[in-house]
Structure 1
Amino acid sequence: MAPALTEMAPTPPHALQQGQQNVSKAIFPDGLKTSGQHGPIYERIRPYSDFPKEITGPTVWQADDYKNNRERWTHVFSDEEIAELSKASDDYIAAGHPLTGMKKDLFPLPKLESFFGAVKNELLNGKGFILFKGIPVREWGLHKCAVAYMGLGSFFGYFVSQNGRGHVLGHVKDLGEDASRPDKVRIYRTNAKQYFHTDGTDLVGLLCIAKALEGGESDIASTHNVWNTLQRENPDVAELMCTPCWYFDRKGEVGQGQDPWYRSNIFFMEHDPEGNPRVWSKFDPMNVTSLARFSEGPDAKIPPLSDAQKRALKILDDTCQRLALHMILDPGDIQLLCNMQVYHARTAYKDYPPGSVDEEGHERVRRHLMRLWLATPENEGGWKTPFHDSNNRKRGGIQVDDTAPPRPLPIVRINNLDVVVRCRNHRLDPRTSPQRLLNLCVRLRELPFPGNARRVAVDIQIPAPFPGIDYTGYVADLQHLSAPLTAFLNAKVVQLQGFIRLTKEEIGALTNSVRVVPRVGEAVVELSVTQKKRESGMGYILSARQQRRMERGRF
């Protein structure tokens, strides 16, 4: 049996002030910091008896209302609207503004602004979803698409961090991570099925860059229709989900002084004592079922899921599935959802094999979507939540201490298809290269705009040699790195370029193993070592001629 509400500890006093903390502008230039994952103010949670038996209004919809009426939830951008988005994007890029500095004051859309305002109201107070179509992703390339997408998003809310590294522009793609380890892995980084859930923010946006060979399709359901159905068919489940007896996993994204989990409800009522509070939901089953490491064994810190809770989770997902509207996102589509009153899910998918081409002979890119999390605070028309950060402009999201939105790794774009990634500050010690190479992989796969690259060259600088180190092992490390880079960057890595400073004797160990050609279909790994005189002594680095060839894309 799940713990009773009366057994729960009250909200700690310090938690009530977390939304009012001062923010360092040296870290967050706009003075705004994502508030992060937290439990509610428990004293503001309404008992189940206060919840309505049935909800009515525009937030309650059936799949049949929209299945054959796409014009009611789809907007195809006109040529004029695309031209306005294009000009604003070009001007933003020309001004040299970083993506992390995007705000609508820097992205004027005089003709679209009023339309976006009406759409935002429909998202927050109406059916809660829309599908925009027509962004020319192939023509614009990923950089301009990202700028246009974030510029559009700035009219709907404030960008909040989506992970512990502070990323505000997420990339939904299969990074080869193990979906069977939900305690360590965020499912959006795999090709596995995502069950019905909400994201940790008010609005979520997805821009489709490339779709999968099979699957990866979107299902959405009206949270209020789901609530009404639970009240009719399984009121005991509805009641259990209105109780703060549910623990949610932070997935290792834990700030100082925080537990690895937080306790909350699944269904809430707005904190609006004098108004007409609405029912809303905040829930992800993968963050509930992944806590066995804390709920089992003699050192258990939280109660395990009861049989009633396990049954409730299944009934909720089955109900959503039964009531869902199915949609397919094509390249250039932007889906916007309000998490407060819309659940969403994703089917499992299979990517195109490496080297696949489309009907026009273009190389197919693996499934890739850009994601935005957007906050709409209570005092700017957002839902009135029983959380301490309800009025914060960047409420919700994921925030670990003072982790700021990171600057992207520097990218030199050779043309629309080829990218050179400079990683000269990633100094790899051959004694610890396996772990450092893995860390480099983690950063490279989070590059903001690699998805349409067909050829990639990566430069890595190695520190001065250490006596007794066998550098031939480093070549094997580079070869081992090529396959994950190929998968992570959605491209064929034609050259992984290493900078190694060696003595004449040490270079002899490499002369017979500088070029490594992996299996057919994998990347070609080349380690180039060339002698050149330097002020600091004799070293071996990339020659100027090789540098020029690389920058011309002649790998």
Structure 2
Amino acid sequence: MTSTVSLSPVEGPAAWRGDVLSQGTEWIYELSDAERTELEEVGRRFVADDPDLRAVTAEQYPVPANAAHLEEVGRQLDSGRGFILVRGLRTEEYGDVLASAIFFVLGLHLGVPMKQNEVGDLLDHVIATSNLTMADGALPSRVRDRLPFHSDSSDVVALMCLRAARSGGSSSLVSGATIYNEVLRRRPDLAPLLFDTWHWDWKAQDKDAPADWYTSPICSWVDGVFSSYAGSSMIESAQRFPDVPRLTEAQREVLALYDEVSQSEGLPIDMDFQPGDVQWLLNYAALHSRTSYEDFPEVERRRHLLRLWLRRDVGRPLVEGFGKNSVVQGRDGNRSGSEDVERISHIANAAAPDLTWGL
């Protein structure tokens, strides 16, 4: 395995621009009636069986009518643009438990669900549970703030929309390869710094984290395969710990440039989630963010997304210690170990968010 710091632009389908993709709909997969019907039937069986989420496997819940659907999702994640939006599930008719079951089954067929926090949640929720903001110390998944572009801590992150916001809350994606290409074009002197080791705030991402910080490069280029892992706010936040090295002027400059480029007109693609939409994203290929939003006043109508983190091993070469994924490798072993077994092991319990967590 050969790791390099390349000063050549990244090429291939993962180096896309949002203003080009948004002119078409090739990034949207519409479920057929047969695919949707099968998922509904399997989801109902999953709810009735109530299997242990920590041990259940895809083989126990086959979905042969969705073979083409899952093949296309996998192709886009592994060797395509790095994301796809699947549309057509009728979650408003299902109720949250059935919707969660369908989502979890799809996740099983595309990877291994990972614990998303030290509590052990395999199915997590993106929902504002108070009027706090990230400035108040609340986790990003529990606020209505705009989120900067960042990467999550898994191979694949998936979101299912149960309920959309009253206004705002658009999901935005941007190609990590395209960002790098633009940084390289503008400042070839700074681009190599993205391959250096950076310190990231772990406590700000998980209040139960076993350490204050972890380390990872922002870019990886191994055997000709480019990957990115970004989130400058977590790098800046890690500066609060006295044992983290101070950022140099050049490092601050490249972080600012990276963020500026990620938000450049034409680079991101925005999508307004509809109930039932499922977004699959390879963290190494694209960054994601969200616009700020306004909720409906009723609690039951709040913007609510389900989230899965998946381990999807396709032999992707990565530089050693790349991403927070590198420090949570053991989380998917048997998907057990949490003290709150009832909460994480049953689909009906997992489908209900803990409104007190993350504040």
Give the alignment's TM-score, normalised by structure 2.
Answer: 0.87
| Correspondent of 2:60 among 102, 106, 128 | 106
Gaps of 5+ in 2: none
Report the secondary structure of 1:312's partner residue: helix
Shift of 1:154: 1.1
1:155-304 aligned within 5 A: 155-176=109-130, 177-181=132-136, 184-244=137-197, 246-251=198-203, 252-255=207-210, 259-270=211-222, 276-294=223-241, 300-304=242-246
Shift of 1:388: 6.7
Match in the other structure for 1:375: 311
Decide which structure has greater helix share: 2
Aligned AA for 1:448?
A
- 1:220–1:99 CA distance, 2 compared to 1 (3 A): same
Match in the other structure for 1:354: 298
> 1:92 touches 1:106 (CA, 8 Å); kept in 2?
no
Deviations 1:400-420 (A, max 9, x none): 995477322899x9xxxxxxx
Deviations 1:114-152 (A, max 9, x none): 431232022111111111111111211111111100101
1:495-506 aligned within 5 A: none
Report the secondary structure of 2:158's partner residue: strand
Residue 282 (structure 2) pairs with residue 338 (structure 1)? yes
Residue 256 (structure 2) pairs with residue 314 (structure 1)? yes
> 2:31 touches 2:69 (CA, 8 Å); kept in 1?
no
> 1:217 touches 1:329 (CA, 8 Å); kept in 2?
yes
For 1:405 and 1:54, the matched residues in 2 are separated by: 47
Shift of 1:374: 0.8
1:324-335 aligned within 5 A: 324-335=268-279
Shift of 1:317: 1.6
Report the secondary structure of 1:135's partner residue: coil
Aligned AA for 1:374?
L
Report the secondary structure of 1:166's partner residue: coil
Residue 66 (structure 2) pairs with residue 129 (structure 1)? no
Shift of 1:449: 3.1
> 2:122 touches 2:344 (CA, 8 Å); kept in 1?
no
Shift of 1:398: 9.3
Match in the other structure for 2:28: 74
Match in the other structure for 1:407: 342
Shift of 1:395: 3.8
Deviations 1:192-218 (A, max 9, x none): 111111111111100001111121111
Residue 351 (structure 2) pairs with residue 449 (structure 1)? yes
- 1:131–1:371 CA distance, 2 compared to 1 (3 A): same
Deviations 1:308-360 (A, max 9, x none): 222222211221111111111111100111111111111111111238xxxxx
> 1:164 touches 1:398 (CA, 8 Å); kept in 2?
no
Aligned AA for 1:332?
G
Report the secondary structure of 1:239's partner residue: helix
Report the secondary structure of 1:111's partner residue: helix
> 1:137 touches 1:209 (CA, 8 Å); kept in 2?
yes
Instruction: State the 4+ residue runs in structure 1 displaced beyond 4 angstroms.
Output: 388-392, 396-402
For 1:125 and 1:405, the matched residues in 2 are separated by: 37
Structure with larger Rg: 1
For 1:388 and 1:281, the matched residues in 2 are separated by: 13
Report the secondary structure of 1:132's partner residue: strand
1:8-157 aligned within 5 A: 46=3, 48=5, 51-70=6-25, 72-157=26-111
- 1:235–1:398 CA distance, 2 compared to 1 (3 A): farther
Shift of 1:153: 1.1
For 1:401 and 1:110, the matched residues in 2 are separated by: 28
Query: Is the deviation greater in 120-129 or in 100-109?
Result: 100-109
> 2:133 touches 2:144 (CA, 8 Å); kept in 1?
no
Aligned AA for 2:244?
I
Deviations 1:469-521 (A, max 9, x none): xxxxxxxxxxxxxxxx9x769xxxxxxxxxxxxxxxxxxxxxxxxxxxxxxxx
For 1:266 and 1:222, the matched residues in 2 are separated by: 13
- 1:228–1:74 CA distance, 2 compared to 1 (3 A): same
Match in the other structure for 1:494: none
For 1:232 and 1:401, the matched residues in 2 are separated by: 46
For 1:448 and 1:326, the matched residues in 2 are separated by: 29
- 1:62–1:140 CA distance, 2 compared to 1 (3 A): same
Match in the other structure for 1:387: 320
| Aligned sequence identity (%) | 27
- 1:265–1:187 CA distance, 2 compared to 1 (3 A): same
For 1:395 and 1:153, the matched residues in 2 are separated by: 18
Give the alignment's TM-score, normalised by structure 1.
Answer: 0.58
Gaps of 5+ in 1: 1-43, 271-275, 295-299, 356-363, 414-446, 452-484, 490-555
Aligned AA for 2:275?
P
Report the secondary structure of 2:121's partner residue: coil
For 2:3 and 2:345, the matched residues in 1 are separated by: 50
Shift of 1:96: 3.0
> 1:242 touches 1:267 (CA, 8 Å); kept in 2?
yes
- 1:118–1:77 CA distance, 2 compared to 1 (3 A): closer
- 1:410–1:269 CA distance, 2 compared to 1 (3 A): closer
- 1:365–1:152 CA distance, 2 compared to 1 (3 A): same
Aligned AA for 1:152?
L
For 1:290 and 1:115, the matched residues in 2 are separated by: 40
Shift of 1:396: 7.7
For 1:168 and 1:96, the matched residues in 2 are separated by: 15
